[in-house]
């Protein structure tokens, strides 16, 4: 039966998301979920929308685009709603990258991009970050078959961020569109939204999974030139967002007070994590996201395993040529204190 | 900017779903939604799931697969959950059909299949139904580049259905997988679910949009050989179904009493529609779905326009070589009576 699949599908390396164990009393710090529940206004909007599910949803999510446009200061016609930002990344890849084309991404970063290229039968060009997680000239070099660049900013797993000026220069040099994946931008000090109106090659994707505490809702969106959005809407599934997620997302983006308050809590815990992990002997990069990337002079895989036995899930990651590290999501203060206590114990300190 | 898109995207004909007007007091009989609200158990399950949205959903929807497997008598590992059956059709097309390959579909039928092939850069081969909406030998003919067949059963817009025996024979002759799109099967007298275990080339897709009254939820699923499902899960987005739709879908499939009751109402109204439309001079095919396809000796586009002015939306469809007709969804009895009254008036009877 396997022979019926396209050759590129037969050969692909599937993307493995972080573990999502069902139930139990785990402290889950492995997939960068927000440790706090979303705005109560989101839950109220969903409960209301659940009363009329027999009708199809608005195919383009006009109400969300309108409200998000006002809140973010962008044209509503420059917004594409997606079933999570994964859906956005899939739509964009399908629209720009075909068999034999090249998709460029930095490494180490979000390995899903590689899988998306492989499904298209495209070639993925992984350009290593410099040691300080800045981009090298190789990333902006124009090449023949290059059709799309993905750049996560802030990046995962490093938590580092590039300034908008650098990204604008990069886009000017590239021969193709550049998607800036801003999944974590609400936890950073700046973002690239304003660049979209200045350079139509720049597209910015966002998700409500992290900063709005809505990983379970599957809602993301793209901000790009309206002429790109109108064609991307032809590539997406007709009704790619359901009535519940559209209602919840509109309520979420409307409640900026909740976002401000949540961000403040997450950033305070993050500062405490960075400081404490350094005291435990970890090398920790300054983070601009809701997770912290840390490496150690001793192997960290045993630490990951020991934490897991304790009921604390963090993400162990290993990149060829880069070594290994732990990516620990910012949890509540008590979750982080528990994690730190166990790390200290396992380090014999 | 348009030049950045893949050539196949620049040239594609976008699929246009039926109108989804916001608000107003329209009688909406154009997109085969169920006129009745879903089971109250669905709404309760969604309200409960809305309390824990900060966590990612189960990537494969194990609870739904388990319950649906029990209800439908199939192996849970043979079920793929999708964000509507459109998502299922997209995943399957991406997995089996590449640039230059051929996707076969009957015509007149669901024109979304054509768009899905075009996005892949594949060729679509549209094989006309016989006059009585049976398949001709051309549909089962093996050809070199043929990689996938789509067969809606019951078909839209005709509402006709092919027997499982015919479909099993068809699959035996085909050199590629056959997806039987059973979006409307709950309104028919038989279906092809049992064939899946007998012939692994047969895949069956279902949706909760029609028979479960959940068009707003976006939930569909595929039943296919477990070895196909495991690869298709690598092609789908990691979290393609959100926590709310998974909870709602599980509650819906669990409430078979609701389905039985709803089906009974829809079928009674359908019988009344068919009889009444024939009395108005329409040629009406026996329907095995929740809509009725009718043609008339006089042009029907003016009737569609007149109904729209009256606030009644039906679907006007025209197929090259087949002529035109009206596809009218089964609404409530009072909606259908209103529609019939206006048709009678516009026909001058």
In CATH terms, A2-30+257-346 corresponds, of 3.30.70.141, 3.50.50.60, 3.90.1150.10, 3.30.360.10, to 3.90.1150.10
* Whole-number pLDDT of residue B320: 84
What ipTM goes with this model?
Answer: 0.96
What's the rounded Cα separation, in Å, for the pair B343 and B349? 9
Chain B neighbors of A35, CB-CB under 8 A = 54
What's the rounded Cα separation, in Å, for the pair B112 and A131? 48
In CATH terms, B2-36+257-346 corresponds, of 3.30.499.10, 3.90.1150.10, 3.40.50.1000, 3.30.390.30, to 3.90.1150.10
Sign (positive or negative) of CA dihedral A313, A318, A322, A324: positive
Q: Per-residue pLDDT tens for A71-89?
A: 999 999 999 999 999 999 9
What integer is the mean pLDDT of B196-206?
97
* Whole-number pLDDT of residue B2: 85
Q: Per-residue pLDDT tens for A126-142?
A: 999 999 999 999 999 99
What integer is the mean pLDDT of A43-54?
97
Question: Between A21 and B60, whose confidence is greater?
Answer: B60
A21 pLDDT above the threshold of 90: no
Q: Per-residue pLDDT tens for B231-286?
A: 999 999 999 999 999 999 999 999 999 999 999 999 999 999 999 999 999 999 99
Nearest to B34 among A54, A57, A177 (CB): A54
Locate all alpha helices (DSSP H) within chain B, ordered by sequence: 7-11, 40-49, 62-72, 85-96, 112-119, 164-173, 195-198, 226-235, 243-254, 256-279, 301-309, 333-346
What is the residue-averaged pLDDT of chain B?
Answer: 96
A25 pLDDT above the threshold of 90: no
What integer is the mean pLDDT of A167-179?
97
Choice among A6-20, A25-39, A171-185 with the minimum mean pLDDT: A6-20
Q: Per-residue pLDDT tens for B99-151?
A: 999 999 999 999 999 999 999 999 999 999 999 999 999 999 999 999 999 99
A37: left (phi over 0), alpha (psi -120 to 50) or beta: beta
Of A91, A239, A75, A9, the closest CA to residue B5 belongs to A91
- In angstroms, the separation between the Cα of residue A86 and the nearest Cα of chain B is 6
- CATH topology (fold) of A40-255: 3.40.640
Residue B80 vs residues A144, A178, A217, B215, B222: alpha-carbon distances, Å = 38, 33, 19, 18, 5
Query: What number of C-beta contacts closer than 8 Å exist between A and B?
Result: 253
Q: Per-residue pLDDT tens for B288-342?
A: 999 999 999 999 999 999 999 999 999 999 988 889 999 999 999 999 999 999 9
* Whole-number pLDDT of residue A22: 66
Chain A neighbors of B244, CB-CB under 8 A = 46, 216-217, 242, 244-245
What integer is the mean pLDDT of B3-11?
93
* Whole-number pLDDT of residue B278: 98
* Whole-number pLDDT of residue A23: 62
| B17 to A56: CB separation less than 8 angstroms, yes or no | yes
Q: Which residues contact A11 (CB under 8 A, 6 or more apart)?
A: A118
Question: Between B22 and B3, whose confidence is greater?
Answer: B3
A1 pLDDT above the threshold of 90: no
* Whole-number pLDDT of residue B22: 66
Length of chain B: 349
SS3 content of chain A, % helix, strand, coil (to 5): 40, 20, 40
Query: What are the extents of the domains in chain B?
Result: 2-36+257-346, 40-255
Q: Is A240 on the interface with B (CB under 8 A)?
A: yes
Q: Per-residue pLDDT tens for A266-304?
A: 999 999 999 999 999 999 999 999 999 999 999 999 999
Chain A neighbors of B81, CB-CB under 8 A = none
Closest Cα in chain A to B20: A58
What's the rounded Cα separation, in Å, for the pair B31 and B313? 9
Q: Is residue B259 within 8 Å of residue B212, measured between CB atoms?
A: yes
């Amino acid at each position: 039966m396997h022979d019926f699949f396209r050759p590129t599908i037969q050969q692909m390396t599937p993307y493995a998301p972080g573990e999502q164990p069902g139930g139990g009393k785990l402290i889950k710090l492995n997939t960068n979920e927000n440790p706090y529940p979303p705005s109560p206004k989101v839950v109220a909007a969903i409960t209301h929308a659940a009363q009329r599910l027999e009708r199809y949803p608005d195919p383009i999510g006009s109400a969300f685009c309108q409200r998000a446009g006002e809140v973010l200061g962008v044209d509503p016609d420059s917004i594409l709603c997606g079933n999570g930002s994964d859906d956005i990344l899939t739509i964009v890849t399908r629209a720009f990258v075909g068999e034999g084309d090249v998709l460029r991404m930095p490494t180490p970063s979000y390995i899903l991009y590689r899988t998306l290229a492989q499904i298209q039968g495209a070639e993925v060009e992984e350009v290593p970050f410099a040691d300080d997680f800045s981009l090298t000239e190789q990333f902006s070099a124009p090449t023949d078959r290059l059709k799309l660049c993905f750049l996560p900013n802030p990046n995962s797993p490093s938590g580092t961020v590039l300034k908008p000026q650098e990204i604008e220069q990069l886009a000017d040099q590239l021969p193709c569109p550049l998607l800036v994946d801003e999944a974590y931008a609400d936890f950073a000090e700046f973002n690239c939204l304003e660049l979209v109106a200045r350079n139509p090659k720049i597209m910015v994707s966002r998700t409500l999974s992290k900063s709005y505490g809505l990983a379970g809702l599957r809602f993301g969106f793209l901000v790009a030139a309206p002429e790109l959005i109108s064609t991307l809407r032809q590539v997406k599934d007709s009704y790619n967002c359901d009535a519940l997620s559209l209602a919840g997302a509109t309520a979420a983006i409307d409640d900026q007070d909740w976002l401000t308050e949540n961000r403040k809590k997450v950033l305070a815990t993050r500062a405490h994590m960075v400081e404490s992990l350094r005291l435990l002997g970890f090398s920790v990069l300054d983070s601009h996201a809701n997770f912290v990337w840390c490496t150690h002079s001793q192997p960290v895989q045993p630490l990951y395993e020991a934490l897991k036995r304790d009921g604390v899930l963090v993400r162990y990651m290993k990149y060829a040529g880069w070594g290994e590290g732990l990516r620990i999501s910012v949890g509540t203060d008590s979750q982080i204190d528990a994690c730190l206590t166990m790390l200290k114990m396992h380090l014999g300190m």
